[in-house]
Amino acid sequence: MKDVQKFNFVITFYLMVLVFLQLSLVAVPLFIHWDLVITQKLIIEEEILETALIIILFGTSYFILRRFKHTLNAYEQKFSQVGAEKSQLLSRLTNTFRYIGTVNVERQEINAILCNLGNYPRTKKELRQRIEYLATRAMTIAKTPWLATRIIDRNSKKTISEYTVVRPGYLVPASTMGNREILENMNVSGLTKITSSQENLALMTVCILPKCQEKENILLKFITKQIEMSFLLYHTGFLSNPLKDKKNNQANI
């Protein structure tokens, strides 16, 4: 605001000086017939006065032009800075909307997964179906041709169970990633591992799949934890089994 006021003041000053000098040039021949007598000792000829006024006019114009140029350069720098800041803000806004869209998609995927899981698996067949269903969803989200889910004993470093899902027309590699490499958090070229990251369990659940985008890792980790939870609840024996409960009731009768 202060710069705008200065700029307007310079313009007004220049116009006032310009009008004054123009009027002076027009008025000089009218009140000076031959010479302009300022005092008895100082006489200024008309040509000299007009030349002096023209020199003053050009000098003032040059000074105002320099001021205009300086002010315009300052505005140009500010406009460039504002343009750069605008580009940064637009980039941040785009990234924010992209992140919000990703979060909404992840939320919808989580809701879709949870809505289809009304009961925890009570038989070995249901456990396999549950794990394969979750692994298929993870494979779809990651857009990979196959996915292997492995449950490892941390102490013996042996595989407790392993489940694989594969798209039609594709094959799972004969060798993917060893248990030692997984437990020691080693990387294997071309492969991605998603672990449940529960350090206080005697087992580890990991999903092994071809290299995928890191933005899907949060959702893949959620699915991996769901697989681990299903496996743990199945083996704890705390789930109700209708057939077993019916036999126990008949035995008690």
64 and 54 in contact (C-beta within 8 Å)?
no
Other CB atoms closer than 10 Å to residue 216's CB: what's the count?
Answer: 21
Beta strands (DSSP E) in 91-190 are 146-153, 159-166
Span 11-37, pLDDT tens digits: 777 677 777 766 766 666 655 554 545
Residue 38 scores a pLDDT above 60? no
Percent helix, strand, coil in the chain, to 5, is 60, 15, 25
What tokens does 69 get? Answer: 């140029």
pLDDT mean over 109-129: 73
Q: Give residue 99's pLDDT.
A: 66
Q: Give residue 42's pLDDT.
A: 44
Q: Give residue 85's pLDDT.
A: 82
125 vs 245, residue with greater confidence = 125
Residue 210 scores a pLDDT above 60? yes
Main-chain dihedrals φ then ψ at residue 163, nearest 5 degrees: -130, 140
Q: Return mean pLDDT, the chain.
A: 76
205 and 224 in contact (C-beta within 8 Å)?
yes
Parse the chain into domains and list their residue ranges: 2-93, 120-239
First to last CA, the chain: 93
| Overall CATH class of domain 120-239 | alpha beta
Q: Closest Cα partner for 127 from 172, 160, 169, 175? A: 160
221 vs 62, residue with greater confidence = 221
Other CB atoms closer than 10 Å to residue 218's CB: what's the count?
Answer: 13
Query: Quick check: helix, strand or coil at residue 47?
Result: helix
Q: Within 13 Å of residue 49, how many CA atoms lie on the same side as its CB?
A: 21
**Which letter, b or e, does each residue of 46-66 get, where b requires 16 or more Cβ atoms within 10 Å of its Cβ?**
eeebeeebeeebeebeeebee
Distance of CA 156 to the CA centre of its chain: 43
Cα gap 164→192, rounded to integer Å? 15
Q: Give the predicted TM-score (pTM) of the model.
A: 0.55
- Report percent pLDDT > 90 for the chain: 11
Q: Give residue 146's pLDDT.
A: 94
Which residues is 159 bridged to in the sheet? 152
151 and 172 in contact (C-beta within 8 Å)?
no
